[in-house]
Amino acid sequence: MAGTEGEAVVGEELQGVEGDGEEGGRAGLRLPLARVKRIMKADPALQLASQDAVFVIAKATELFVESLVEEAYQYTRKAGRKTVSRRDVDNSVEAIDALAFLDGALDWS
């Protein structure tokens, strides 16, 4: 299904991702690709993962975490604090429908 809306969104997000030529344009990542690949391989359903697939997963993870932190920081600022707390993340998860899949997933205690 070529040309779907999801592909267009991913393409737009990745346009500004190319680095300064190091590692084939992957210099802009903060997550280590080897660790991302190791985490991906923990799924027994995954047979092989190309470097491009690992890169896209790493970039998507970074964008997701950035978005979640930005949302949580809004609650931090409203409370007059400077440090993002667990309750700020929980408030974000409760307030944003797209984050509903995280409800209960962050309960590690």
Q: What is the CATH number of the domain that holds 96?
A: 1.10.20.10
Yes or no: say if 58 and 39 are a contact pair by the CB < 8 Å rule: no
User: How far apart are alpha carbons 65 and 99 in whole angstroms?
Assistant: 11
Place of tokens 């997963």: 57
User: How far apart are alpha carbons 92 and 22 in whole angstroms?
Assistant: 36
Q: Domain range spanning residue 60?
A: 5-102
Domain-embedded: residue 19: yes
Q: How many domains are there within the chain?
A: 1
Q: Fill in the amino acid letter for 76.
A: T
Q: How confident is the model at residue 27 (pLDDT cuts 50, 70, 90)?
A: low
Domain-embedded: residue 49: yes
Domain-embedded: residue 109: no
pLDDT in tens, 54-79: 999 999 999 999 999 999 999 999 99
Q: Report the predicted TM-score, pTM, of the whole model to 2 decimal places.
A: 0.69
Mean residue pLDDT across the chain:
82
Domain-embedded: residue 108: no
| Of 8 and 109, the one with more pLDDT | 109
Q: If you write DSSP's letter for every residue of 9-55 in order, what string do you get?
A: HHHHHHGGG--SSGGGTTTT--S-HHHHHHHHHTSTT-----HHHHH
